[in-house]
Structure 1
Amino acid sequence: MTYRAKIAAAVLVAGLAFAAAPLHAQQPAAKQPAPAAQPAPKPVSPAALAAAKEILAMKKASAMYASAVPNIVEQTKNALVQNNLNYQKDLGEVAIIVAKNLAGREQEIGEGMAQIYAGEFTEQELKDLVTFYKSPLGAKLLAVEPRAIQFSMNYMNQWAQVFAQTVNEQFRAEMKKRGKDI
């Protein structure tokens, strides 16, 4: 891998890592900022909520958050271990207890997602989407879309590496105009 490709990859990885980092777990409890206020959920009909849940089930949305609880427990434990190395064994044991106590809470994510879908689409739109996803084209979309998204992500990563080289070259050219080789 060239130096420029390494820079592009590092920038991409750093951006993704920063976006996923559990910043709240690294701060002492007293210093944590208050969570951003979420708008109150729109009132939705039970039928709209049911249709939203059906759509999310067809899209296998639960796969996105299935391991949320153990992942957050592990991230929190790791952050606590960094500041409390002498409690590493205890924190490992406590992590198992905490994960067990909070098992199943990831379902709150699915409920929230369904509420959001039901608030963003009308009941009839949700029913139409259910009908669409049950059609041959909708079924194909459900089957093919994850692969298309993965291919798109791969394309974006490749594009970012090439584009980073272009940006690097422009930096070097502009610095050369200033009499500074970098």
Structure 2
Amino acid sequence: MKYFWILTVGLALTAPLAQAQSTTPATGGAPAPAVPISAGQRKAAEELLTAANSEQNLAVTIDRMLASQIEQNPGMKAVEPEMRAYITKYMSWSAMKEDMVQLYAREFTEKELKELAKFYQTPIGRKTIEKMPQLMGASMEIGQRRMQEHLPELQQAIAEKMKTQAPTDVK
């Protein structure tokens, strides 16, 4: 559960921009190599991230996730400063901006980036950005609730599988 909020922060950062599927093949979790991008493409990616309020959304999401974690586990309040320092170091906008610019510049053409930025400047685009943190939070709650409701089924399936598995030798 402690890693859930880190994943959530990453998703929340990119959620308003998830208008198209990735065209990059899976890399098995490894970051894609930096590909040279044009100055125009870089500028367009930065403008898109600005139009999507990525920096502000990330900060709000981090605050909400930390508050949620502390609410669920009050003992974490004692380590909140360390958690914030860690997040600031590795997950803050200043730490992630270049990676995000590269990501969007790799996935979209300069023209597409400009069109997306233009969309996020429209009334419906602004509404999408404003509603996205609330929608992401509600979606996570739905997912958590469904997982908790059906956890016994998973536990039973795992227990049954373990009964049929031969014990492994541990050296």
TM-score by length of 1: 0.51
Equivalent residue for 1:109, pick from 93, 96, 120:
96
* Counterpart residue type for residue 57 of structure 1: T
* Counterpart residue type for residue 138 of structure 2: F
Residues 1:153 and 2:146 aligned together: no
The correspondence of residues 42-121 of structure 1 with structure 2, limited to 5 A, is 42-63=35-56, 64=58, 74=85, 107-121=94-108
Count residues in correspondence.
Answer: 120
Contact 2:48–2:116 at 8 Å: present in 1 too? yes
The structure that has the greater radius of gyration is 1
Identity value in percent = 26
Residues 1:16 and 2:4 aligned together: yes
Q: 1:113 to 1:14 in 2, by over 3 A?
A: closer
Equivalent residue for 1:139, pick from 105, 117, 126:
126
Gap regions ≥5 residues in structure 1: 1-12, 21-35, 76-98, 176-182
Once residues 167 and 112 of structure 1 are traced to their aligned partners in structure 2, the CA distance between those partners, rounded to angstroms, is 36
Contact 1:43–1:119 at 8 Å: present in 2 too? no
Q: CA deviation at 1:128?
A: 0.7
TM-score by length of 2: 0.54
Alignment-derived partner of residue 114 in structure 2: 127
RMSD: 3.9
Once residues 108 and 18 of structure 1 are traced to their aligned partners in structure 2, the CA distance between those partners, rounded to angstroms, is 14
User: Which digits, 9 at most, give the CA deviation of each residue in 1:37-90, with x for residues without a partner?
Assistant: 7443222221221121122122232243798xx867955xxxxxxxxxxxxxxx
Gap regions ≥5 residues in structure 2: 9-28, 63-80, 162-171
